[in-house]
Structure 1
Amino acid sequence: MAKGVIIVGAGPVGLMLAGELALGGAEVAVYDRLPAPSGESRGVGFTRRAAEVFDQRGLLARFGDVEWAQGHFGGVRIDFSKLDDNHFSVRGVPQFRTEEILETWLGELGVTVHRNHEVTGFRETGDGVVVTFEGPDGPGEEEAAYLVGCDGARSVVRKTAGIDFPGWDATRGMYMADLVGAGVRQRPIGEQVPGGMVMAFNLENGVDRIVIHDEKLRPHEDKSQLTFEVVADAWQRMTGESLHHAEVRWISAFTDTTRQASQYRKGRVFLAGDATHIHMPAGAQGMSVGVQDAVNLGWKLAAAVRGHAPEGLLDTFESERHPVGEQLMRNTRAQTRLYLTGDEMEPLRAVMRELVESPAVARHLAGQVSGLDVRYDMGASGHPLLGLRFSPDRELKLADGGRVRVAELLHAARGVLVTTGESPEAARLAAGWSDRVDVVTGQWVPGDHAADADPEALLLRPDGHVAWVSPDGGELRGALERWFGAASGQA
């Protein structure tokens, strides 16, 4: 029997997507070419919106006490404390730790990760996709209704599907190393030095990560010849400090190659994460945007597998997420030039430092980096909340006197209709979608905002974005049908 969805790639994006599908009631399997997790961590944190996404599924607490980091745009500091919303990101969480947490979660949900299974291609049939792979027991194949490539920049799924990956070739190269006993001075958002830029910050338990941009370093893809001596020599040449005595945990090199897939969907095949967008690392945006890709796609694909997805729902994955990827390409390219260009860029940096003192400018740039500025087209207008994510920290006081955060209402990855008793007809109408939408009634707990901004009622999609608001937010029945399909018994 065909599976609902096969995901290729067991990085954070593939694992997050698998969990979303399982919560949505779809059968899912994950295939990964490695026999075990690599233990490497190019990413060492995530943005505010990614933290909210984890919180919405009850996962953020599993990371333990996290370090909330101040932000910057291309090395220009942004004072988040002056902004109305909380844009602080999470720093110091290595990617392998994120993967461990997500894979444990998948085990609880009954999802299998097939290690040592290298997907070699696929073919589409009339009602599904047949995936071919090389596994521990030799070649094999498996059929599914849908296939998602979360298999990185060199995605086999993307290449087999014939999806273009246009963009900009590398112009700069950088070194990265994780060190023990380095005793290095911390430079958490980077520091301009003659000949380039250097960065250093504590990763975890006495492990320091260093990043070096040497203007003389030519971009290259072959990392096999890279040695720690080369990295340490570059650090000493640029800072005057020696790291040669340190113990090396991991070294790597990367470039500013920037590309975006021309399509995120082709028939029954989808792409997410690095298979759709690659760029110079900047504020943990790559993995964070990929996780948001997964949370956008998961509930929609689960609805299709279960047979109640409305027409056009799957197409909204590309229409909503491709523009986010375009913005990611634009802002990381801008940050790269601002961050890594030499002294000739200093006048622009000075202007940027002045501009970010303006709350409007700071809010705009912070929103791009944090992911809090994403707004989707909900097919209606008239209310400022429509299409935005609703703050997961907002609280409701329930009839029994208890309190619940919006994030907790989203743990099951279902739609949520919140009413305050001002719109009783909304709750009665939503009863027709009770198998897909939860109805919660309560009163908003006062917070640091104007009380008249509290909505009488609102409909949240499983990803936490506002699909309908009362008053002045469109027609509820239309929103329910647009995002959740026909009411029970009306299909």
Structure 2
Amino acid sequence: MNGTTPRTVIVVGSGPTGLFLAGDLAAAGVPVTVVEKRPHKISNLSRAFVLHARTLEQLDARGLADGIEAKGQPLDTLSLFGRLAVDLSDLPSRFQHLLVLPQYEVEAALQQRAADAGVTFAYETEVTGLTQDADGVTLQVRTGDGEPTTMRAAYVVGTDGMRSAVRESVGLPFPGKSVIRSVVLADVKLAEEPENVLTVNAVGDAFAFIAPFGDGYYRVIGWNRARNVPESAPLDLDEIKEVTRLALGRDYGMHEARWMSRFHSDERQAPAYRVGRVLLAGDAAHVHTPAGGQGMNTGLQDAANLGWKLAAVVNGRAGEALLDTYEAERHPVGKAVLRNSGGIVRLAMANRPWTLAARAALTAFLGRVRPARTRMVGQLTGIGVAYPAPRGAHRLVGTRVPDVRLKEGRLYEALRQGAFVLIVPEGAHDKGDDHYAVTHWASDRRMSLLVRPDGYVAWASDEEPTDGGVISAGIPDSLDSYAFRA
């Protein structure tokens, strides 16, 4: 990179993924501009309503989880297919639940954090194309007054959704298909309050979901397989009520709809998350069915993985090859979410004898076999996601680290500095350096553990400290070693 291109990043898209990433980069000292084609406002028309445990942990590592938890409603039991109740209260996490909270509340918290960290926002600015060279990326944009202009940065990240202009500009396809058509959404008031925080069920050809906004309105999502009409077809409250009665047995006295719409649900994934100096995250890289509430969560975890790596490269502390590990680690996760969420939808909407039998068998199996149920919950909540470790690495390398107690406090409090955290036994010491802080186990554990900023094990050793209590001899001396290649 030469002096003609500043060490800056442009993030295109101000949804949750883009705001999370921009905040991380700015906190690491990287100048960031968020480009957004919409005017400056946070819409309440979002579809995401669930934060899973792993996402809450990532928010905790940024000091946001407690405030967000205070606005949401925790749910410690998941119901699958109306038959299997999955208990989340024994998750190995500080967050033994999922949190029901509208996406716009998450966006508001992330936007405030990004603004406080110094992120610049360019609203009503639409990307029309881009070119890149060895030193940076030039964005072609059109501003609110219709005037074309350009913006320049060292790297550009597209977090601009399913119809990503960034993805299209670098020529990446978005293979996949529409899975569910003519899904209906509405924000309504209810005369009868539902018994559960989340109300969801599927019967025959009908599916319905109800979740609270917290302001007296409820989001209703419904689908009737027997009514497959174009998204442009008129929609009224009677249709919303009908599909809700079919799936849930009643419509809870819906009235005062403030917004209604149709949409379709796709399953798609870009074949690559990086093209030179351009990267993709969130819905620009992958879209899934809403089953399991994994869409926004997967995007936020993309950002947690990419942020520290991109900051290290832009700040000159790691080589560009580190960015390849973002795709290597996150592309398989996106693929797994496509598979899992798609499977849930297909089983939920099963209506033929053999698919109904398969659903009953799977439900019975998960109910009886605890390890299988634990694995399923781990994948759904993100707690069980691990990254591939290099051959010969310690067994813990690439695994998620829970919020362990330290002599100095909690691990996820220590991670709020955005640096690596080295955990060593009581009595051991290490001088540390400019990319990791040294802490100590609160217990009598004797191993040493180096934790990446995104909460995964970068290096571990079971060996006792050397004479004098020094443990740093085995720690890799390059940031490039802290991401994993299979």
Distance 1:363 1:197 in 2: 26
1:201 to 199, 203, 211: 211
Compute the displacement of 1:163 (Å).
0.8
- 1:387/1:485 CA distance change after superposition, 3 Å: closer
Kept in 2: contact 1:41–1:95 (CA 8 A): yes
Kept in 2: contact 1:170–1:219 (CA 8 A): no
Is 2:350 aligned against 1:352?
no
The 5-angstrom pairing of residues 255-294 of structure 1 reads: 255-294=264-303
Distance 2:472 2:172 in 1: 37
Distance 1:244 1:411 in 2: 45
User: Which residue is equivalent to 1:91?
Assistant: 99
User: Which residue is equivalent to 1:114?
Assistant: 122
Q: Deviations over 1:276-330 (max 9, x none)?
A: 1111102321110100100100111111111111452111000000000110111
The 5-angstrom pairing of residues 164-175 of structure 1 reads: 164-175=173-184
Counterpart amino acid of residue 115 in structure 1: Y
Is 2:132 aligned against 1:124?
yes
Compute the displacement of 1:343 (Å).
5.8
Distance 1:279 1:485 in 2: 32
Is 2:73 aligned against 1:63?
no
Greater mean deviation of Cα atoms: 44-53 or 336-345 = 336-345
Q: Deviations over 1:224-270 (max 9, x none)?
A: 74343432343346556456751113323333420000000000000
Kept in 2: contact 1:33–1:118 (CA 8 A): yes
- 1:380/1:483 CA distance change after superposition, 3 Å: farther
Kept in 2: contact 1:47–1:88 (CA 8 A): no
Distance 1:336 1:485 in 2: 39
Distance 2:329 2:421 in 1: 20
1:336 to 320, 345, 361: 345
The 5-angstrom pairing of residues 27-46 of structure 1 reads: 27-36=31-40, 37-46=42-51
Distance 1:74 1:483 in 2: 45
Q: Deviations over 1:409-432 (max 9, x none)?
A: 0002111111124654xx24xx3x
TM-score calculated relative to the size of structure 1: 0.87
- 1:11/1:338 CA distance change after superposition, 3 Å: same
- 1:85/1:98 CA distance change after superposition, 3 Å: closer
User: Which residue is equivalent to 1:190?
Assistant: 200
Greater mean deviation of Cα atoms: 375-384 or 334-343 = 375-384
1:301 to 295, 303, 310: 310
Is 2:28 aligned against 1:6?
no
User: Which residue is equivalent to 2:399?
Assistant: 388
Compute the displacement of 1:93 (Å).
1.1
- 1:120/1:436 CA distance change after superposition, 3 Å: same
Compute the displacement of 1:134 (Å).
1.2
- 1:247/1:144 CA distance change after superposition, 3 Å: same
- 1:64/1:189 CA distance change after superposition, 3 Å: closer
Kept in 2: contact 1:176–1:253 (CA 8 A): yes
SS in 1 for 2:29: coil
SS in 2 for 1:121: strand
Compute the displacement of 1:13 (Å).
0.1
Distance 1:196 1:92 in 2: 23
Number of positions where the alignment pairs a residue of Structure 1 with one of Structure 2: 464
1:362 to 367, 370, 373: 373
SS in 1 for 2:389: coil
User: Which residue is equivalent to 2:330?
Assistant: 321
Distance 1:3 1:226 in 2: 49
Greater mean deviation of Cα atoms: 131-140 or 178-187 = 178-187
- 1:444/1:31 CA distance change after superposition, 3 Å: same
Is 2:475 aligned against 1:469?
no
Q: Percent identity?
A: 34
Compute the displacement of 1:196 (Å).
1.8
Kept in 2: contact 1:57–1:411 (CA 8 A): yes
Distance 2:362 2:259 in 1: 34
Kept in 2: contact 1:172–1:217 (CA 8 A): no
Compute the displacement of 1:85 (Å).
5.3
Distance 2:221 2:113 in 1: 32
Kept in 1: contact 2:25–2:32 (CA 8 A): yes
Structure 2 unmatched ranges of 5 or more: 465-470
User: Which residue is equivalent to 1:437?
Assistant: 436
Distance 2:285 2:397 in 1: 27
User: Which residue is equivalent to 1:489?
Assistant: none
User: Which residue is equivalent to 1:218?
Assistant: 228
Distance 2:223 2:90 in 1: 31
Compute the displacement of 1:158 (Å).
0.4
- 1:40/1:189 CA distance change after superposition, 3 Å: same
Is 2:450 aligned against 1:459?
yes
SS in 2 for 1:319: helix
Q: Deviations over 1:105-129 (max 9, x none)?
A: 1111111221111111111123000
Counterpart amino acid of residue 71 in structure 1: L
Counterpart amino acid of residue 388 in structure 2: D
Compute the displacement of 1:462 (Å).
0.8
1:480 to 471, 476, 482: 476
Structure 1 unmatched ranges of 5 or more: 399-403, 446-450, 487-491
SS in 1 for 2:22: helix
Distance 2:473 2:238 in 1: 65
- 1:129/1:310 CA distance change after superposition, 3 Å: closer
User: Which residue is equivalent to 1:401?
Assistant: none
Compute the displacement of 1:184 (Å).
5.5
Counterpart amino acid of residue 408 in structure 1: E
Distance 1:140 1:102 in 2: 28
User: Which residue is equivalent to 1:448?
Assistant: none
